[in-house]
């Protein structure tokens, strides 16, 4: 179940099949990448892209015929760049490059990640900066269009000279080699999958092998998918926090706009405004606004939710800006440039270094861990009789006989502990490669892989908070004869209609936790709250 599924009529329903995406000389939009990568949208190359590809190819062919060596066109690669390759060996050069660099190891990378990096590589080819032939670019588009996904392995990229190994596994499929999965998910040789789709492999010409594998597309694709998911999860964290404030008899007064304006961080203001809207009309909150209430102020995990959630939002905005710059880039080495007189040349450069993307991938793992940590602290307050404002220990039906949600919090704590480890940066590490020619690398692929795990962990932690707060709200409604806010009540109703039961004797919890994780990850919890109050910021 994906985050872009929608909630309607009390159930999660898949979105309609997305329209094909046209790839032109301009950048792919983030929502287009999600449509292709996650929802299987097809692609087509625009006429402007085909024209740009043809112009750049003419430059490469002129250089290939020249006596002067040109890196990537008539030379070896990396530390072997000093060798001039004769014309009759250049097809073998490109083929050997792809075969040797497809050296990944480990489990298969997720289909959506592979499709994302394929689309982003196609987008770079479409800029007319790489010098490939139009038939090579078209075959890459055809693979996406037919749902043919090369098998890419977990380990192999250092995030410099691009994501070489992952992209090489994709390029291998273009020459009819390696393994792929077809649209049904079946594993088969690339040559068989191409034939079944009515496609023919290409024989790579000068520079094409290098152009297919020299980019930051894997790490950028994972960044864009994470940004898409975190936009939903951070708003869902506001929903969870509102349910906890309500269930723990906290106050909403600390979220007032005049208090947020004193510290004008935009994410903080947005999160506080969300919390106020989510708690509007709450009979539970109103029930303790009486003269005899002796609560002076709430714990930090309640009172400071906008500050933490808001800082995470601002970090997300920064990462999105970096992603937008990278989407507008043509990452290759060497790259085709056009001179003022209309002629072209090929120049070496360092734009393949993944540092800009790697840094924000690492950066995002920090607020993900911290938002999850605060969520776990709110959950723990619900379960502690000394701090939960009159609720039974562990929200158990018969404490002592029943353990309630005790171990659900253990699960949260285990995930949060892992998220803290995953927040350690990958991009500060560098291991020299290619006989010290590539003596500083970004490790951006590793940063992206751990961020994907972090995003999954955040969804699980927030889901357990939502499940716990929903049980507490049911108990409050029964004890105080008051109803929660319309927005939070809609979330409770969603859980109850989706197999996540309310208070009662102990039962097998794991299936309910997984059901709640699906509801959070799919965006259904967020949509349920928004069905009552409109879209959250």
**What integer best gives the mean pLDDT of the chain?**
92
User: Across-strand partners of 153?
Assistant: 108
C-alpha of 311 from chain center: 18
> If we measure between CA atoms, which residue out of 457, 452, 454 comes closest to residue 517?
457
What pLDDT, on the 0 to 100 scale, is given for residue 334? 87
Residue 279 CA to residue 288 CA, distance in Å, equals: 14
Residue 105, H or E segment: strand 105-108
| Contact partners, residue 528, CB within 8 Å, separation at least 6 | 7, 490, 491, 493, 494
Question: 8 in helix, strand or coil?
Answer: strand
Q: What is the pLDDT of residue 6?
A: 35
Contact criterion met (CB below 8 Å) for 527 and 5 = no
Residue 4 has pLDDT above 60, yes or no: no
Predicted confidence (pLDDT) per residue in 447-469, tens digit: 999 999 999 999 999 999 999 99
Task: Detail the DSSP E strand segments found in 353-462.
Answer: none
For residue 514, give Cα distances in angstroms to 3, 186, 460, 522, 527: 15, 27, 8, 12, 18
CATH 3.90.870.40 fits 223-330+358-533, yes or no: no
pLDDT at 293: 60
Q: Where are the domains of the chain?
A: 6-215, 223-330+358-533
Q: Which of 71, 300, 359, 410 is catalytic?
A: 71
Q: Which among 343, 346, 344, 330 has a CA at the least distance from the CA of 70?
A: 346
Measure the CA–CA gap between 403 and 396, rounded to whole angstroms: 6
Is the pLDDT assigned to residue 88 strictly greater than 90? no
Rounded average pLDDT over 97-103: 94
Structure tokens at 370: 């911290």
Output the pLDDT for position 2.
39
H/E element holding 169? helix 164-174
Q: What is the rounded average pLDDT of the residues 211-232?
A: 96
CB proximity list for 102: less than 8 A, separation 6 or greater: 165, 168, 169, 171, 172, 178
Confidence of residue 291 (pLDDT cuts 50, 70, 90): low
Q: Helix 217-247 crosses helix 355-383 at what angle (to 10 degrees)?
A: 20
- For residue 440, pLDDT beyond 90: no
* pTM value > 0.85: yes
With a CB cutoff of 8 Å and minimum separation 6, the contacts of 428 are: none
The pLDDT value given to residue 290: 67
pLDDT (0 to 100) of residue 431: 85
Measured in degrees and rounded to the nearest 5, phi and psi for residue 325 equal: -65, -40
- Which of 431, 426, 428 lies closest to 365 in space, CA to CA? 426
For residue 150, list its beta bridge partners: 180
410 classed as catalytic: no
CATH architecture of 6-215: Orthogonal Bundle (1.10)
The span from the CA of 344 to the CA of 130, in Å, is 12
> Residue 511 above 80 pLDDT?
yes
């Amino acid at each position: 179940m994906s985050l872009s599924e929608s909630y309607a009529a009390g159930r999660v329903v898949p979105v309609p099949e997305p329209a094909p995406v046209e790839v032109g000389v301009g950048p792919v939009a983030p929502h287009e990448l999600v449509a292709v990568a996650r929802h299987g949208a097809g692609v087509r190359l625009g006429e402007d892209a085909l024209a740009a590809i043809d112009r750049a190819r003419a430059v490469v062919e002129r250089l290939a015929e020249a006596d002067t060596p040109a890196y990537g066109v008539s030379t070896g690669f990396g530390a072997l760049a000093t060798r001039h390759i004769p014309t009759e060996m250049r097809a073998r050069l490109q083929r050997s490059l792809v075969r040797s660099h497809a050296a990944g190891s480990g489990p298969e990378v997720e289909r959506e990640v592979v499709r994302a990096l394929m689309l982003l590589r196609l987008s770079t080819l479409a800029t007319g900066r790489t010098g490939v032939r139009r038939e090579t670019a078209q075959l890459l588009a055809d693979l996406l269009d037919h749902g043919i996904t090369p098998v890419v392995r977990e380990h192999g990229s250092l995030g410099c000279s691009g994501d070489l190994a992952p992209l090489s596994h994709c390029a291998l499929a273009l020459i009819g080699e390696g393994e792929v999965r077809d649209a049904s998910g079946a594993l088969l040789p690339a040559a068989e999958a191409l034939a079944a789709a009515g496609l023919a492999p290409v024989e790579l010409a000068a520079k094409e092998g290098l152009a297919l594998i020299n980019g930051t597309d894997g790490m950028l694709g994972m960044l864009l998918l994470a940004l898409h998911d975190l936009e939903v999860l951070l708003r869902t964290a506001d929903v969870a926090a509102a349910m906890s404030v309500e269930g723990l008899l906290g106050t909403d007064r600390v979220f007032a706009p005049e208090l947020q304006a004193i510290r004008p961080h935009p994410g903080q203001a947005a999160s506080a405004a969300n919390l106020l809207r989510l708690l509007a009309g709450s009979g539970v909150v109103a029930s303790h606004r009486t003269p005899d209430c002796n609560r002076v102020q709430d714990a930090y995990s309640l009172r400071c939710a906008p500050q933490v959630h808001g800082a995470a939002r601002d970090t997300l905005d920064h990462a999105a800006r970096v992603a937008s710059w990278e989407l507008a880039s043509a990452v290759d080495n060497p790259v085709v440039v056009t001179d003022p007189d209309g002629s072209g040349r090929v120049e070496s450069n360092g734009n393949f270094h993944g540092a800009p993307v790697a840094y924000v991938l690492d950066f995002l793992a920090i607020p993900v861990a911290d938002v999850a940590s605060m969520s776990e602290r709110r959950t723990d307050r619900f379960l502690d009789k000394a701090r939960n404002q009159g609720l039974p220990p562990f929200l158990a039906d018969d404490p002592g006989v029943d353990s309630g949600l005790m171990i659900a919090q253990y699960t949260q704590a285990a995930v949060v502990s892992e998220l803290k480890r995953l927040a350690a940066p990958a991009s500060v590490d560098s291991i020299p490669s290619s006989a010290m020619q590539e003596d500083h690398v970004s490790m951006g692929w590793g940063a992206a892989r751990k961020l994907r795990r972090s995003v999954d962990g955040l969804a699980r932690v927030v889901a357990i908070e939502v499940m716990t707060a929903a049980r507490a709200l049911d108990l409050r409604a029964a004890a105080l004869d008051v109803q929660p806010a319309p927005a939070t009540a809609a979330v409770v109703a969603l859980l109850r209609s989706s197999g996540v039961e309310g208070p009662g004797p102990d039962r097998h919890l794991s299936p309910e936790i997984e059901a709640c994780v699906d509801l959070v990850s799919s965006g259904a919890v967020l949509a349920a709250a928004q069905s009552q109050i409109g879209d959250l910021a």
